[in-house]
Amino acid sequence: MRVIVVGGGVVGTMHAWQAVERGHEVVQIEREAEARGASLRNFGLVWVGGRAHGEELGAALRARELWEAIAARVPDLGFRASGSLTPVRTARERAVAEEALSRPEAAARGHRLLTAAETRALNPALRGEFTAALHCERDAQVEPRTAQLALRAALAGSGRYTFLPGREVREVLDRGAVRDDHGQVHRGDQVVLCTGAWLGGLVRELAPRLPVRRVRLQMMQTAPLGETLTTSVADADSFRYYPAYAGGALDALNSGQPQPEVAAAHRMQLLMVQRRDGGLTLGDTHEYAQPFGFDVAEEPYAHVREVAESLLGRPLPRIVRRWAGVYAQCTDTTRLVHREQVREAAWLVTGPGGRGMTCSPAIAEQTAEALGW
pLDDT for position 314: 98
To the nearest 10 degrees (0 to 180), the angle between helices 356-370 and 10-21 is 40
pLDDT at 252 (0 to 100) = 98
Rounded (5°) CA angle 48-234-56: 20
How big is the chain by its Cα radius of gyration, in Å?
21
CA atoms of 245 and 50, how far apart (whole Å): 7
Q: What is the model's pLDDT at position 174?
A: 84
Q: What does the pLDDT read at residue 178? A: 98
Length in residues, the chain: 373
Contacts of 358 by beta carbon, 8 Å cutoff, 6+ apart:
45, 46, 47, 48, 51, 60, 63, 64
Query: HSE on the CB side for 182, CA within 13 Å?
Result: 10
Nearest to 243 by CA among 103, 345, 131, 112: 103
Q: Report the pLDDT value the prediction gives residue 325, as an integer from 0 to 100.
A: 95
* Residue 210: C-alpha distances to residues 171, 214, 328, 339, 344 (Å): 18, 11, 11, 10, 18
The CATH number fitting domain 1-83+139-211+335-373, selected from 3.40.109.10, 3.90.70.10, 3.50.50.60, 3.40.50.1820: 3.50.50.60
Predicted confidence pLDDT, tens digits, the chain (373 residues)? 999 999 999 999 999 999 999 999 999 999 999 988 998 999 999 999 999 999 999 999 999 999 999 999 999 999 999 999 999 999 999 999 999 999 999 999 999 999 999 999 999 999 999 999 999 999 999 999 999 999 999 999 999 999 999 999 999 998 899 999 999 999 999 999 999 999 999 999 999 999 999 999 999 999 999 999 999 999 999 999 999 999 999 999 999 999 999 999 999 999 999 999 999 999 999 999 999 999 999 999 999 999 999 999 999 999 999 999 999 999 998 899 999 999 999 999 999 999 999 999 999 999 999 999 9
In the chain, CATH 3.30.9.10 covers 84-137+212-330
Q: Is it true that domain 84-137+212-330 has CATH number 3.40.190.10? A: no
- Give the model's pLDDT for residue 175: 87
Kindly give the pairing relationship between strand 190-193 and strand 2-6.
parallel
* Range(s) of the chain covered by CATH 3.50.50.60: 1-83+139-211+335-373
Give me the half-sphere count of Cα atoms (radius 13 Å) on the Cβ side of residue 309. Answer: 13
